[in-house]
Amino acid sequence: KNEVEQSPQNLTAQEGEFITINCSYSVGISALHWLQQHPGGGIVSLFMLSSGKKKHGRLIATINIQEKHSSLHITASHPRDSAVYICAPGSSNTGKLIFGQGTTLQVKP
Amino acid sequence: DTEVTQTPKHLVMGMTNKKSLKCEQHMGHRAMYWYKQKAKKPPELMFVYSYEKLSINESVPSRFSPECPNSSLLNLHLHALQPEDSALYLCASSQIWRRGVTTDTQYFGPGTRLTVL
């Protein structure tokens, strides 16, 4: 079993829809990161969470440490949100990021 | 300035060539990272430098040789690569890296797309 499981793997949405991407992990973490990667390569860090909830514009990230689960929500989705979203818990043991396989999101106009 | 720059953007090299990838940041970060990413896969950590010292080498073949000449610069020297080494090479930096301490936000460069013929 992978240390990090993301779902869904692929997601297609219509513009304006509310989107949720889930992440479950099995390792001890110091913080959990959500990353966004657009076609062409560049990775942007969206959130770093160690508890509770964070909001940035239309993006919301939540984490439940006891259940080892995090979610990324996108409200009022837009075609420019189309990207790969990666959940990456930071191991409390090694200090390394453990990357999920990513969720490929396509938002259609 | 929250930018990490990488040069070159694209690199094509033969198996007998020697080349270098360069990464630079001016955010005062003391941790820098090299990742390798194959198509449709997540990044794989290769090396971590902390305060200009190599802290993690993820059993990377010796044909990849990292170098951190100062706190702003990170190089990856390439020699005698194989076609399976073709990938996107990403550099990242963060304020600090320390085992057992919270993982800082990492700032990624745009990557160098390497093709080995």
- Model confidence at B102, in pLDDT bands (50, 70, 90)? low
Q: How many residues does chain A have?
A: 109
Query: 3-state SS of chain A: helix, strand, coil percent to 5?
Result: 5, 60, 40
Share of chain A above pLDDT 90, in %: 85
How high is the pLDDT of residue A92? 86
Nearest CB partner across the interface for B102, out of A31, A42, A102: A31
Residue B102 and residue A30: Cβ atoms within 8 Å? Answer: yes
Smallest CA–CA distance, residue A87 to chain B, in Å, is 10
* Residue to test with chain B: of A96, A101, A103, A104, most B Cβ within 10 A: A96
DSSP code per residue over A13-50: EETT--EEEEEEE-S-EEEEEEEEE-TTS-EEEEEEES
How high is the pLDDT of residue B104? 86
Residues of B in contact with A61 (CB under 8 A): none
- Model confidence at A14, in pLDDT bands (50, 70, 90)? very high
What's the sign of the alpha-carbon dihedral B23, B27, B30, B33?
A: negative
Nearest residue of B to residue A86, measured between CA atoms: B42
Q: Is B103 on the interface with A (CB under 8 A)?
A: yes
How high is the pLDDT of residue B2? 67
Q: Tens of pLDDT along A58-108?
A: 999 999 999 999 999 999 999 999 999 999 999 888 889 999 999 999 999
Confirm if B63 and B78 have CB atoms less than 8 A apart: yes
Q: Is A39 on the interface with B (CB under 8 A)?
A: no
Q: Tens of pLDDT along B50-63?
A: 999 999 999 999 99
A 57-96 residues with CB below 8 A of B? 86, 88, 90-96
- Model confidence at A22, in pLDDT bands (50, 70, 90)? very high
Across residues B58-72, what is the average pLDDT? 95
- Say if residue B23's pLDDT is above 90: yes
Which residue matches tokens 């304020």? Answer: B95
Residues of A in contact with B37 (CB under 8 A): 41
Residue A96 and residue B56: Cβ atoms within 8 Å? Answer: yes
Structure-token pair, residue B97: 């890296």
- Model confidence at A42, in pLDDT bands (50, 70, 90)? confident
How high is the pLDDT of residue B1? 63
